[in-house]
Amino acid sequence: MESPKPNLNKTPEKSISISEKEKSNGIIAYVTVIGLIIAFMQNKEEKSEYVNFHIRQMIGIFICSLVFVIPFLGWLLGLGVIALWIIGILGALSGERKPVPILGEKFQEWFKSIEA
């Protein structure tokens, strides 16, 4: 008797079906503060939890980016913020709701009241 094989093709829990417009707005959220505002305004029409997720991630990353004003230490920490931004935008490009490392879950918790 053969034992059942595990299903290795499971989709991640955070993977959802999204439209191209939602994916575009998720990506736009990461393109400067202006992009964040545009994504927020566009998401007011057709509310999307996917877009809200990426808006909250970018708000957190933006707030973290304020460490750049601290000489030396802020510049080093700023490199970490750039890495978080890259990870966030890559998640949006791939259509995932994957929180950025270290603070991503906290961003969702802290900014849960922010919904477009």
Tokens of residue 106, six digits: 């906290």
Per residue in 55-92, pLDDT tens?
Answer: 999 999 999 888 888 888 888 888 899 999 999 999 99
Residues 6+ apart with CB under 8 A from 45: none
Burial of 62 (0-12, 13-18, 19+ CB in 10 A): middle
Per residue in 15-64, pLDDT tens?
Answer: 568 889 999 999 999 998 999 999 999 998 888 999 999 999 999 999 98
Listed in order, strand segments (DSSP E) in 18-73 are none
Q: Is 0.85 surpassed by the pTM of this model?
A: no
Strand partners, 96: 15
